[in-house]
Structure 1
Amino acid sequence: MSQTRPNILCIVSEDCPPRLGAYGDRLARTPNLDRLAGEGVTWRVANCTSPVCAPSRFAILTGRHAESVPPAQQMTAFGPFPEGIATYPEVFRATGYYCTNNSKTHYNCDIDPNTLWDETSGTAHWRNRPAGAPFLAVFNTMLTHESCVFERKDGPVRLQDVTVPSYLPDSDGIRQSLASYYNQVERMDAFMGERLAELEADGVAEDTIVFYYSDHGSPLPRSKRFCYDEGLGVPMIVRVPSRWRHLLDVAPGTMVDTPVSLVDLFATFLSVAGLDLVEGLQGQAFIGPKRRKREYVFGGRDRMDERYDLTRTARSARFRYIRNYSPHRIWGQHYAFAWESKAYQDYETDHIAGRLTPREERFWQRKPAEELYDIAEDPDATVNLASDPLYAAELEKTRDALDRHMLEIHDCGFIPEASQAEGWQANRNETIYPLREVIALAGLAIARDASNIARFCGLLDHPSLVMRFWAAQGLLMLAVEGGPMPPQLRSAWASEHEPTVRIALSEALGHAGDGMTQAEYLTRFIASEHNPRLRLQALCALTEMPHPSRVSLPVIAGLIEDEDEYVRGAAGYLKRRLEGSYEPSSKIFRYDLFRQSGHSGLPVHAFPRLTTR
């Protein structure tokens, strides 16, 4: 008997931008996905919500931006999952679908994946479903994960075949990373072909809607972890069999320009299955009877690995707007895991040696408050139009759209991690987290206008710790730029009891000439504090302060064996900086301790030959 509801198959590749033949990449060998695109619909501007896996997967699972459910926006946070938030496998199971996941989870919260799925494992498959049940199946491959470029992957694509993006130097390490990546993309395509062949072999292809996408973009420098198209842009291909063609409003083989987001998948699954949209979804369906067209998709980044760098972005069919809420930090902060790549090592080596062009050197500089790029004319996003009067109207329009979005989703990214304001109840309390006021204050902070110093100082006794934090951030940003700090800053630091605010004030004082005293304070704090995220914030502040005292070295050295992966990475980097032994090729990421930790985001088999340093 014919099914009354379609099956849904999601085939997902890790860390994969749209470097496919279907997207016009002539070097990519992707016959299976190109065939899928020819039989389906491809979205030219598909974005994830965060340029790293865990927050992105939270958004897919819940249909909500991770920053609306803190601390899910922070990389590997595992915070409490609030009651009352739906997940798509639970909703579909309740309606009779057999739901399987093969096999990555890493949902960035404390939810037990085994409670969501009928089966989640390396053997989970629709073939195990009860007779007659429709299925929703996810297959994920790590063949293209960032770690694939840490070692050479041979194949038909060679170093000399690739084209290096214009914002990167043309080095052997970068070329090898890109060539290895293309070779892994070919293997990934074969994996996808096997899943599609299984549909045909089982006789269910005509009853199955296939979604192909990635969790985020490429592992090259300035890609993963960053809010450009290379980090947020993903492929999105959907094949709808002829029986269900009424769910589409375009013909097969079409390339659609209307933006879509991975946060839209939950609503889209419901739409194609004929189910009602659930309460609280922030995404919207892009196929099926409930489809709606977007003008913008939104995303951002918060803590990535061991580094803090708050960014929010809006992408239309043509433009990308970026707002940097940490303009006092350079793009090229050191990430222990990413620096396992020869591409990052080569890039920093060339930076240190002074061999970079101004376009390439930009990555190692502090950021502007705002960026605007015409992607149609500048696909590499290298010409910032934010100050160009010809684009003033576009800037204002997109700026307003981003502000509205942050308010609509109740963006909690402005709340410092591990602070008392981070909890689900606290962040909904207007007294604790006055979001509209916070957004306005953060906007003043990133403007870095010294005329606001008195205003920042006046807010250092605000009852909301979040307001105090952003007042402190405003002073820190000015201190980094060399601006004079008012004398009352020290008394504010002495009376502040919230650690996240005090750390920011400590760094500001350190930049304002009190480096030795503040280095000693932060060292003592790191040695006595038990919360790893507070220790991490202090480590980051200590790393950025000028002339940190060598008295911190014994404490920092003691943290390279820490239980927390990110504390280890930050401490290992800082230790080498303090010793004067750091080189871009320094081995800082600890595979031995990483394996022992049983990290749920990256299984041990992701590093088959990287067991020693």
Structure 2
Amino acid sequence: MIKTFVFLAAFLVGLANVNADRPNILWLTSEDNNVNWIGCYGNPYAETPNIDALAKEGVQYMHCYANAPVCAPSRSTWITGVHALSMGTHPMRSRYLIPHDQIQYYPDHLKKAGYFVGNDRKTDYNIGGREDKSAWDTSKTDWSKLQQKQPFFMVINTTKSHESKAFGNTDNTSHSPDRVQLAKYHPDIPEIRKNYAHYHDQIRKMDADIGKALADLEKAGLAENTIVVYNSDHGGVLPRSKRFLFNSGTHCPLVIRIPEKYKHLRRAEPGTKVDDLVSFIDMPKTWLKLCGVEPPAYMQGNLFLGDEKESRDYHVSFRGRMDERCDNVRAIRDRRFLYIRNYMPYAPWGQHLNYLWNMRATQAWEEQYLEGKTNAITGRFFGTKPMEELYDTSVDPDNINNLIDAPQFAEEANRLRNAMDQWQQENFDSALLPESEVALRAEQAGKTIYELVRDPALYDLPALQKASALALTQDPKNLPTFYEEMKDKDVGLRYWGVVGCFNLPDATPLDLQVFKGLLNDSSHHVRAMAAWILYRRGEKKVAQACWNDLLKNSSYASLKVFNITDWIGEGFAPYAEAMRACKFSHQGYVSRMQEYTGTSPAKP
């Protein structure tokens, strides 16, 4: 009995010593602000004294980027350490299932290692089959409890910089509209200047929240044992930032303060600006390692701190459906160049998004465009996209000068293209088919999307890569290949064959009978795109009949059809009855398109 007691006492003392050697981590997150809103990142008009002071006490990362430019897929990537695009959780507010028996959340691993984990309180993980809060011990910040629960990992999120804070009245701001620094893609008009000033006011409030958390940490006597991290959850927030893969949507502040006790973990001395390339996918893996927890093999990031630091050559971002608006974009970058691949170039950048249009700056910008008052730079947002984009961010941080066709940058473009192709294969890009097509295929196979895309018999990734790349070439010489693809048994190849034909120059002769035959294809997305080809070739009645049939029968491609009819820009009257009859939900976003098109069903 005495031996047992002595052993237990020794074990508890040993455990206490181990816990005492492990750092607490306080992760402070803000919402929707890119680096341009933070003073220490070079904006002299930004009022962020607390973040600026933290940067002097810690290390400021100059090249930190979000994998997704919007909250739900960004946080889906964070909580798992797996790219949302690799799990199928990249479309906004989709909550598709993942195999929870294979993928745990990073706080699960911390809890097993003896950490007390808290999150106050944003979750938005966009994952089905599990309550977001289940991974955490608490959703409140209680400093007295944290004093007793060391080691701890505590997330405190401030909402003061969220996009919604840029809405509302933009008059009577504390910051002067005359002094704000406008992005080059925004027209210089009073309404936009006022919205900038209004958001600067909100950023100051966000910074005050960061300052309060730091003061509370110090007051609780925990600063000497706690690593502090500050960053935003993606870029933003004026129009053409959040939701987009430009610098403005992905380049995020990251400041880390490591106390003297753990200085061996530092990347550089306090006050240093570090040029390491950091991707959001790196964070959960790195946090685990800092806490003495071995990251699981399924995590896809690199370690960017500590003795086992790993270098990173490229960062990848992705854009899928944003609320009610369909799109499919990839981006890869190094410290200098940003390459973007638009799988849906026909979808305009500035397509109307109900939520974004609550902002006065967005409304005013569109008004300027419709009145013909924008130029080639400030008006480009409302047009369709090129197949590819390349920007030298060292001289063009606003990403307005597309270098993709410049001969002197051809080598850089090819390098990034190849790196993107390799990344897609290594990380199982799940979006080389339309969202609802992938979801349907996973449902029919009885698998999660994560499992589906790792089964080559169900999702032939190399074939889809090849077909999608060919579809973006706009080369009429590929027409025979497109016709062959449209006969293939694989829906994916038929889809890209149709898209390839759609992307060809208007003068390319097409056999319209082929596309009329595809109006009965098993894939509703193939039907929708074939109908659009017919529409553009003068067969409008035939195309409209197809789209109306899909809508009336609540097709799984209904949201895409709603989007197509808007992109055409010739009104909704021919589809109003079918739109009103459509009952397909698509996570509730069909109803948003019904609201936008004025076809919401009558309330009983």
| TM-score after normalising by structure 2 | 0.90
Task: For residues 19-65 of structure 1, give each alpha carbon's deviation from its aligned partner in whole angstroms, at most 9, with x where no partner exists.
Answer: 21111211111111111100111111111001111000011111111
Q: Aligned partners of 1:548 and 1:16: how far apart in 2?
A: 36
* 1:357 has 2:375 as partner: yes
- Once structures 1 and 2 are overlaid, which stretch shifts more, 214-223 or 151-160? 151-160
Q: Aligned partners of 1:297 and 1:192: how far apart in 2?
A: 27
Which residue is 2:32 aligned to? 15
Please say if residues 6 and 273 of structure 1, whose CA atoms lie closer than 8 Å, have aligned partners that are also in contact: yes
Q: Aligned partners of 2:409 and 2:218: how far apart in 1?
A: 50
Distance 1:563 1:413, change over 3 A: closer
Q: Aligned partners of 1:292 and 1:385: how far apart in 2?
A: 31
Q: Aligned partners of 1:562 and 1:300: how far apart in 2?
A: 24
Q: Aligned partners of 1:489 and 1:548: how far apart in 2?
A: 27
Which residue is 2:524 aligned to? 499
- Once structures 1 and 2 are overlaid, which stretch shifts more, 127-136 or 374-383? 127-136
Matched residue of 2:53: which SS?
helix
Query: Matches of residues 60-75 of structure 1 in structure 2 within 5 Å?
Result: 60-70=78-88, 72-75=89-92
Distance 1:365 1:545, change over 3 A: closer
Which residue is 1:180 aligned to? 198
Query: Matches of residues 135-534 of structure 1 in structure 2 within 5 Å?
Result: 135-152=152-169, 155-419=173-437, 420-422=440-442, 423-478=449-504, 481=506, 483-529=508-554, 531=556, 534=557
Identity %: 33
Question: Which of 107, 110, 118 matches 1:92?
Answer: 110
Matched residue of 1:234: which SS?
coil
5+ residue gaps, structure 1: 577-587, 594-613
* 1:81 has 2:106 as partner: no
Matched residue of 2:377: which SS?
helix
Aligned-pair CA distance for 1:131: 3.0
Please say if residues 516 and 549 of structure 1, whose CA atoms lie closer than 8 Å, have aligned partners that are also in contact: no
Aligned-pair CA distance for 1:505: 1.9
Matched residue of 1:425: which SS?
helix
Distance 1:242 1:58, change over 3 A: same
Aligned-pair CA distance for 1:162: 0.8
Distance 1:490 1:385, change over 3 A: closer
Q: Aligned partners of 1:430 and 1:108: how far apart in 2?
A: 25
* 1:115 has 2:134 as partner: yes
Matched residue of 1:213: which SS?
strand
Q: Aligned partners of 1:557 and 1:173: how far apart in 2?
A: 35
Q: Aligned partners of 2:57 and 2:251: how far apart in 1?
A: 22
Aligned-pair CA distance for 1:361: 1.6
Distance 1:231 1:503, change over 3 A: same
Please say if residues 72 and 126 of structure 2, whose CA atoms lie closer than 8 Å, have aligned partners that are also in contact: yes
Question: Which of 586, 589, 595 matches 1:566?
Answer: 589
Q: Which amino acid aligns with 2:576?
A: L
Who wins on radius of gyration, i.e. which is larger? 2
5+ residue gaps, structure 2: 1-15, 443-448
Distance 1:411 1:37, change over 3 A: same
Which residue is 2:573 aligned to? 550
- Once structures 1 and 2 are overlaid, which stretch shifts more, 13-22 or 147-156? 147-156
Matched residue of 1:376: which SS?
coil
Aligned-pair CA distance for 1:446: 1.3
Length, aligned pairs only: 573
Q: Which amino acid aligns with 1:508?
A: I
Aligned-pair CA distance for 1:561: 12
Q: Which amino acid aligns with 2:145?
A: N
Matched residue of 1:454: which SS?
helix
Aligned-pair CA distance for 1:530: 6.5
Distance 1:564 1:112, change over 3 A: closer
Q: Aligned partners of 1:490 and 1:575: how far apart in 2?
A: 30
Aligned-pair CA distance for 1:77: 0.4
Distance 1:21 1:352, change over 3 A: same
Please say if residues 149 and 181 of structure 1, whose CA atoms lie closer than 8 Å, have aligned partners that are also in contact: yes
Q: Which amino acid aligns with 2:177?
A: L
Please say if residues 268 and 286 of structure 1, whose CA atoms lie closer than 8 Å, have aligned partners that are also in contact: yes
Aligned-pair CA distance for 1:130: 8.2
Distance 1:503 1:125, change over 3 A: farther
